[in-house]
Structures are given as structure tokens and as C-alpha cells.
Structure 1
Amino acid sequence: MHLSKKERKRTKSTLDAEPDRISWLPGHVTDQIMSYLPIRDAVRTSVLSRNWRKKWYTLPNLVLDRQCVSAEASQDPLVIEPKFSKMVDHVLLLHSGPINMFKFCNYDLPGEGSLVSDVDRWILYLIGRSIKELVLEVWIEEEYYQIPWCLFSCQSLHNLKLRWCWLKPPMVFESFRNLKSLDLNLVTVDQDAFENMISKCPLLEKMKLTEVDGLTQINIHAPNLKFFEIEGLFEGITFDNTFQLATIVIDSWFDLTSESNPSRSPGCSSNLLKFFDHRPHIQSLEIGSYFLKYLAAGVLPVKLPTPCIDLSFLSLSVNFDNMAEILTALCLLRS
């Protein structure tokens, strides 16, 4: 079929007038699409159309990890580290909106060079952008990354997750006044510095400690704490002013032979009683066999003086070759 010149012109005008559906998607739809894309793919959407060219500039959540690097580059240790650092610099330089969450992880990327100065610089930049959630998993060969002091002045932080880091707050550390969640995994921190830091997080609601080095006796002072999870080797644990604590998960090894452990004294009060003292709102409790052995130390009651009326979930790992653990479990069940 042959079209006349007039018909061809009319057809072309009709095609030109059809809406570009990708360009004119509603803002909340494009935001949703972008939120599911790795940053590397989000940047690639800039070629879709003029309206998409700068969409990724305002991504509120930035995740910088292996997915940001091409498969070819990630196999070359001489290429990956400078390429990765430049890519992070490029993203932060062009970003124009608020940054709510920033995650950096270089664990599964080859390379032996040091990223310390780069990460320090990024943290300082993010503080200026009022970052709310910071996740750092910085793998440096044979050492931990030391968190710079500038981070301890960041009052906008709501969530902080660190892995393979060394925490050393400055002597003049005042507080993380807005921090609600703290997750430390394979982190080194001094006992006194940790306790001082926790006591200066008035809004802290959730805490997770995994293999934290430098802590022996865990002393928690957090009036708004609602969730607490711990895993590692310690001598004991106490809670002070944690009346809101509702969920406790403990899968730890406790050194009952330590000279500093008060439960070694004959006739001393049970660790079980001390643990449940002032825990009126506990709703969920999950403890491993090693911690049950810790709770069994001392003089065990038949049941707790104050029943756990809100406890709706209880998970116990019991060594049935250990009578003390059995009696401790029975005491809990009666309560």
C-alpha cells in the first residue's frame, strides 16, 4: 500500500505526538523503580530520556559494593581499588539530594591497597549532608579501619552499623542524641569507651553486638532500649535502667572461671534473679545453652519472684547432661 505525501506527513505527526511513556511516568513510580536498582544500573538509566538523565542524582539510599563494579574489573586487583574509589567519588560529587542511607562494603573485592583516607573523606562529606543511616564494612588487610573522630560529632545519625572497625571515641564525645540503632560486628572498642558511648545515646532502641573485642563484662545502660542481641565470649552481662527492653537474643560463651565473676562466690544470689530483675516488659527471650549455664550459677529459686506476664516467646537451648541448666529451664517455665 502506498501513502500519499499528505498521508505520510499526517502519520509522522501522529507518531511524534504519542506520549513518551518512560519519560512521563509519575514521580513516585520512577522513585520506586530506582530504589530497586544497584547504583551502577541506576546511573545507566540516564540514557533513557532527557527526563531520566539526572534521576539518579537524588537517590536517597546509596549502596556501594561489588554490584557497582563490572565483572571484568573486579577480577583485577590492580584496577578494582582505584576504580571503586573513583566511582564512589563520582557518585557523591554528582549527588544533589538528601542522603538518608550510605553503605560501603569492599569485603568481596580484591586488592591490598588502603582505602583509609578515602573512607575518612567520605565520612566527613556525609556528615555535612546530615546522613541518617551509615553502614561501613571496610576490609583492610591485617588491620581494622579506625573510625575518624569527626563521626562522633554527627548528630543526624539514626542508624549505625560497623564491621571490621576500631571504635575509639574522643575524650570530649558528648552524645549521639538521635541514634536509635547500633550494630557492631567484629569491632574493637575499649570497655569504658563503649559504656560511655552507650550511656550517651538517649534514644537508643536497638543494639546488636557480634564478636566485639575489648569487652569483658557487658554493662548496658539505655533507658529506651527495646531490642538487644549479643554473640561472643564475655564474663557477664548486666542491664541498668532498661525497663523498656522487650526482646533479648543471647548466643554467647561466658567465662564462669573468671576471678571477676561474682557467681563464683559460695551462696551468692543466682545470675538468673539478677538477669530478670527490673525486666517487667520482656516479651521475647532466646538464649543458647552457654548462657543458660551462666544463668544457672548461684542459688537457684524454684521460680522467679516476679512472673514474666508479658513473655510470649521463649527459646532455650538446654544441655540435658547438666542438672543446673535443667533446673534453670524449669524455673523459667514455672515463671
Structure 2
Amino acid sequence: MGRKRSKSTHLTIKDAELDRISCLPGHVIDQILSLMPIKEAVRTSVLSSSWRNKWYTLPNLVFNKHCISVAASKYTSVINNKFLRIVDHVLLQHSGPINKFMLSDNENCLIRVCDVSDVHRWVLHLSRRSIKELLLHFWLDKRYKIPLSLFSCQSLRHLSLSCCQLKLPTTFEGFKNLQYLHLEEVTLAQDDFENMISGCPLLDHLVLMKIDGFSQINVHAPNLSTFQFYGKFEDISFQNSSQIYTVYVDLSIYLNSKSNQSKLHGCSSNLLKFFAHQPHIQFLEIGYYFLKYLAADDVPVKLPAPCISLCELSLCINFNDLKEISAALCLLRSSPNLKKLEIFVSI
């Protein structure tokens, strides 16, 4: 009897040691799954009963080229079909809250123009799941129109879109919880842009890259702290956005329109106009065309109010242009607490 008890006890301990993966605490399993590509996370369901349904509640869903096996990489149609099935399968099986949904196709092999209806269906599904972070990054031959269901996602805190058209519905009341907005190669009208920004009272970080549809950048965002811009513009103005401390405007194309700037803004200096509304700027990067914009019309020797918060300044200067040199000197004279200065020479 003693030997049998000893043997039974020995087998139980040995089995427990061999199946340590099933004994992991739930929060540890969740952490492991969160660090894995979605394809591998789904495969863990075969490990044991405690892992079988764990991936159903993954809060962050990222779909990219890593979802597809290497064996299918030579056939675009196979890749596309498998990718669509994977996204559909995951969303159908998923039962927990979805905090983040990211669709990334940088190599243009996962999503095609004919798949836009699938994307619309996914967005509609997500709009009913209190999604907090939505990133749609894929490039098509023509820009797809964002479905109206997106504008009902009042739980959104982070929104990043590329290669699309935005048309606000008449019932749009803003994204009341949105803090981060990134628009790249997006087409939208001037009024829609301004209504969208003003309808985001908590917006903190705004990134605009190659926006089409307008070139007058008017930003009305009381809590905006960081503004990044790359693209064409005639004028940039910030109203009710005095909390900005980081501005990055680089490699832009300044469309010179001197004919109506002074009349519209009642100010003969873009430099004065820009800094009059930005008392808290701490980090400022000025690309070649933006400096050209700031140097347009009259350039003062010094700003009326010093930029006392400005501690880091980056400039791209054409030293053959006296107006740009004057604008740069004005900034330097007006920045008594500057700690870091970068100057790039434009040729």
C-alpha cells in the first residue's frame, strides 16, 4: 500500500511539472498573448483547456503581413483571401472589449479596392464595440470613402487614417473623447476639417500629412499640445489653441498668396500672427517652406512678447534669402531661455 501511494503521488507531481503552462495565472497568459502576432495568439488555443478561449478576449487586435504564412507570400490573391478570412474569423469569435484595432498594409498586398466593403463592415462592427483606438493604414489606387458608422464611435481616443475620403454626416456632433488624430493622404473639405477639429474638445495631438481639399489650416482646439504638419498650405492659424508646446512643420509646400493674407487677418506679419497665439511653445521645428511663410511681409526685429517657454528650436534656412535670415534672428532675439538650437542649411 505504501509503495502504491508513493507511486501515485510521484505521478501527480510529475504531471504538474510537465503541464506548467496550464498552471499560469490568467493575467500572465493575457500578457503573453498581447505580445504575440494575432495568428500565433489564435494558435495557442491548442495548448490546453485554460488557453483555449483566451484569445477571444484579446483587447488589442493588429492585422498586418505577419498574419499570413510565408508559404502564401508568392500569390497575391491567396494572401488577400486568407487575410480577409482571418480578420472575419477573429472578429466573429471575439467576445471581449476591443480597445485597439489596427489594419496595416504597407506593402499593398492585403487589401484591394474591391475589399473596401469588407473594411466598411469591420468599421460598422467596431463602432458597436466601444472601440478606443482605430488605425486604418493601407494605400489603394484611389482613396476609399470612410463609412458614416465611424462618426458614431464616441468612445474613440486615438484615430489614425490614411488614403481615404472624409465626409462628415450632418448629424456629426464631434468625437468627445478623441485625444490623438493622425490624417495622412486624406481628402476632406475645409468646413469638414474645421468642424471635426472643433468637435474634439480633448484633442491633444494632431498630425496632418499631405491633406487634400483645402490649404487654409485653421485649428480650433483648446487642449492641443502637439501639432505636426507636412503638406501644402497657404496659411496656418491657431485660434483658441494656446496650450500648444510642440510644433513640427517640415518639408511643407508654402503656396504664396500675399493678395489676401493681410486683409483676412489684419496683420502684415505671419511671424507676429503665429506667435501671438502660442505663448507656451517649448519645442519648435521649422522646415524650409514654413520659415519662408513666417518671413513673408514685414519681419520685426524682435517679437513684442518673448518666447520665454521656448527651449528647443530647429531651423532650416536659405542663407541667400535675407528675409529668412531676418526671421531667424528675430526668433533668436525673442527666445531668452533657449537651450538647444539646430540650424540646417537649405540649398
Same fold (TM over 0.5): yes
User: Which whole-Å CA distance do the structure 2 matches of 1:232 and 1:78 have between them?
Assistant: 34
User: Which whole-Å CA distance do the structure 2 matches of 1:93 and 1:131 have between them?
Assistant: 15
User: Which whole-Å CA distance do the structure 1 matches of 2:113 and 2:205 have between them?
Assistant: 34
Tell me what 1:122 maps to: 122
| Alignment partner of 1:194 is 2:193 | yes
Match of 2:88, SS state, is helix
User: Which whole-Å CA distance do the structure 1 matches of 2:12 and 2:292 have between them?
Assistant: 81
Structure 2 portions without partners, runs of 5+: 335-347
Tell me what 1:231 maps to: 230
Tell me what 2:286 maps to: 287
| Alignment partner of 1:207 is 2:179 | no
Preserved contact between residue 246 and residue 284 of structure 1 (Cα < 8 Å): yes
Match of 1:115, SS state, is helix
User: Which whole-Å CA distance do the structure 2 matches of 1:199 and 1:151 have between them?
Assistant: 17
CA RMSD, 1 decimal: 2.2
Letter in 2 for 1:106: D
Match of 1:281, SS state, is coil
Letter in 2 for 1:62: L
User: Which whole-Å CA distance do the structure 2 matches of 1:154 and 1:103 have between them?
Assistant: 15
Match of 2:320, SS state, is coil
Match of 1:306, SS state, is coil
Tell me what 2:315 maps to: 316
User: Which whole-Å CA distance do the structure 1 matches of 2:226 and 2:138 have between them?
Assistant: 26
Displacement after TM superposition at 1:16 (Å): 2.8
Structure 1 portions without partners, runs of 5+: none
TM-score normalized with structure 1 length: 0.92
Displacement after TM superposition at 1:57 (Å): 1.0
User: Which whole-Å CA distance do the structure 1 matches of 2:323 and 2:229 have between them?
Assistant: 23
| Alignment partner of 1:137 is 2:137 | yes
User: Which whole-Å CA distance do the structure 2 matches of 1:154 and 1:245 have between them?
Assistant: 26
1:205-226 CA distances to partner (integer Å, 9 max, x unpaired)? 1100001111211011111111
Displacement after TM superposition at 1:35 (Å): 1.5
User: Which whole-Å CA distance do the structure 1 matches of 2:264 and 2:198 have between them?
Assistant: 28
Letter in 1 for 2:171: V
Match of 1:228, SS state, is strand
Preserved contact between residue 203 and residue 224 of structure 1 (Cα < 8 Å): yes
Preserved contact between residue 162 and residue 187 of structure 1 (Cα < 8 Å): yes
1:276-315 CA distances to partner (integer Å, 9 max, x unpaired)? 0121111111111211111011111111111111111111
Percent identity at matched positions? 56
Preserved contact between residue 262 and residue 268 of structure 2 (Cα < 8 Å): no
User: Which whole-Å CA distance do the structure 2 matches of 1:296 and 1:264 have between them?
Assistant: 18
Paired positions, count: 330
